[in-house]
Structure 1
Amino acid sequence: MTDRRRRPGAPDVRTAVLDLGSTTFQLLVADADPEGGLTPILRDRVVLNLGLVLANHGRIPQPEAQRAADTARRLRDVAVRAGADRFVVLATSALRDSHNRGELTVLLEEAVGLPVQFIDGREEARLTLLGVTASVAVDGGPTLLLDLGGGSLEVALTDDTGLRWGRSVPVGAGRLTGMLAGSDPPTREERKAVQAAVKEAVSPFVADIRDFSPARCIASGGTAGALARLLAARRWAIPPASLNQYSFPVADLRALTRRLDSMTLKQRLQLPGIDERRADLLPVGGWVLTTAAATLDVEELVHSEWGFREGAVLDALGIRQDTAPSFTDLRRRSVDRLVRMWGEDPRYLDLVAAVAETLFDGTRELHGLGVREREWLGHAARLHTIGSRISPARLHKHGAYLVEHGGLRGFSPEEIAILASVVRFQRGKDPRPVYAPYSGLPAGIKRTCVVLVGIFRIAHAIARGPEDEGLVVTTKLREKGPRIRVAGSSNPEAVLVEAAEASGLLERTLEAAIAVETTVSGTS
């Protein structure tokens, strides 16, 4: 019997994408909203390393082909039980390039009872880009994409008009490991052979890419994600739940790759943050990405957790954005999605956010923060009640957890930590290192976070309760500190008491006395 349980507000169609890839067969079951927001319901994967098999044989032999069919059948059954209504089955590099592709097609279609679409490199790039731009916020200018799979590397370029071009080159991590890097640990000669193959494959794109002068380079795919996770384990004592939009210098990835290629597989498996199922591919994966980046004059990579499969879900539902959503739109829509799932009255949340932003503007001369920090405060204000459905008394703790794990798109791990910290410390004790996301922030950002928490506490004290658009808050700086005047409150006495109690943290941080006054609306 199909499981039809749905989250509140879920769409009528739940989509399953079965990605028959070169390293893994992966399943994504997800709900999507009309604006391109995705809520993954279930993920599953089985490592088959068909890219390695193809590199060694030029075809997929019968035993491996049968295992692939059995795996595809099992993943389809999992999708059915997860309530999927629509199915998309896509085959990429290793199956696409196998000499016995026809036999494989018959075997796989009989196994899943659905047509298998073999897609070319440009279509793979298009779908990947659709998923990436629904996940990573880009702020103007052309974007270069490197999507590293087991069988191929997709290179795509997009700008404000959409996808300009996409190419697929057969230098995937699994394929090159099987063809050129069979030693454990890999040898210097193997490294040079892989690097030469990658440089030869991507060099024809150099002139076109230089003409566009990309503002950023996004790296996606499972191997890129596994390498990002290893870098994160070096950066944070407790790595973030999500590494979406995690930026790192190519030089750091090169240093990590040097360490990986000096180790045996057994040694790599002991590393913090290692993806055990990809450990054998990581040295070659690092060589591919760093060589491609160097050849294309890329110095920093931005990781996207979403890519091909997420793009295929959006495409299947007809959500085919010609251009990427704007930086601010993607972030705001992602926050709104989480609020719809877990939050309370959006009008109340908007009121709290408006009061917080007013207080931020009125104290800017004291805290010295800018547009970026103001945006963080507004998002945190709109998210502050999402934990109340789990426990109203502990909404700050549950809300912070949901911010960390709720799949917000368009924010870096550091920004997620800031939002979670503001939600976590909206009540109770002041921000402190016992909370891991706050502890992992740089010292200067910690101070910013404390200021935002202090402003939010006052805004919440003013706007909580049965307030409406008649509430007017103004701020004026005096010699001793800011004076906050509140007009139109339904309970001015309570505002005075609660706002005064909530002002302590901001007063200590800014070293200024905060005065709160209430007036009848329309008086001065």
Structure 2
Amino acid sequence: GVDVGTGSAVVVDIGGGSVELTVGSAAGATLTRSLKIGVIRLTERFRASDPLSKRDDRDMTQYVTEAIAEPIAQIRALGFDRVIGTSGTILSLGALASGETRSADDEVRNLRVPTKQFRRVREELTALNLTERLRVPGLDPRRADLIVAGAVLFDTILKALDVSEVTLCGLSLREGLALDYIHRNRTKVAKVEQYPDVRRRSVIELAERCNYSAAHAGQVARIALSLFDQTVATHGLDRQEREWLEYAALLHDIGVHISFARHHKHSYYLVKHGDLRGFEPDEAAVIALTTRYHRRATPKKTHPGYSDLSPSLRRTVRTLAALLRLAEGLDRSHGQSVSDVIVSPVDDAYFIRLGAHGDTELELWAAQRHVAPLEQVLGRPIRFEFLGRTAEPLGPPPGRERPSEAPSVAESSGS
């Protein structure tokens, strides 16, 4: 870009369909005008001959002069310190006007070029036919057919502005819009950098809009994924379903944003209608239903939404919801007191050994209460035992206020 400092500048951006004239400073724009006299429009309207005839040159100049008369008068009344030229057309003309055989992509940005040099380029280009223009050193062959109209247009604007030089800028209106968007949406841009995957970013944004508990949701997700990975030989689901489970775990409690009572149903509604980007309708439905069944009732064919799924997806919901229900129970206190979950098949049962670094009485009670759906899915009874505890509890005992932050826990396998 070009630093205009404390002064005022006129920015000229020539496109195929229009010309943008802007007056402003570092603080912002004071005048913007868009004129439908782009190089494609002028070429189609006036260039009946090649090389450009003197009559077509004269008619095009007159047409442009009349089109820019009003905005140029306003610009001159406002006053300005410099003229900045942007866009591929102006950079190409600037490369030729600078008198060196370098392209517009080379070191022409921020270069100051006398306006008389653009007049010279105009006279040279209007005298050449297309074949001859294609051989001009430094001219992009892709612009050879439109550069004549661009030369006439830009020279006419410079003459009306009555300036002695132009500063070339490699950033045009398109880049300016992008930079303005970044400036106005720093939080969103930071979120894109933090979560480049649109699906994950969409889930996190929905969770944050609903003021979710990140520590609790993250703990439930880690436990759920660990349970998924260690029982995959039995349930047979793959990476896609694993991803759905993680997102459902992150979103399972967002219904509390509406009310705690029936928050599982509120979570279902928010996920279902939360405009999750990048998900197929069936995927969003599975995630929403998995959050719906993390507490209270288990899936039934009579339930709206669930009954609409195919048999295979209904089985997926039953499995994911059972895993999520148990994982949520293992952080019932929201204290993240369970540090490890080790699942071992022993004879006809599963033993789940829990590593703990705090009071897990409430977690054990909730796990035993909510394990039945997973036992049905896996076809085996499940028993719990502890691997041991640290001397000082890090999580809150049942009934105490939940902390806003909690210590990290071991990552689940494969997450």
Q: Shorter-chain TM-score: what band?
A: 0.3 to 0.5
TM-score (norm 2): 0.47
TM-score (norm 1): 0.38
> Higher Cα Rg: structure 1 or 2?
2
Structure scoring higher RCO (CA < 8 A, sep ≥ 6) equals 1
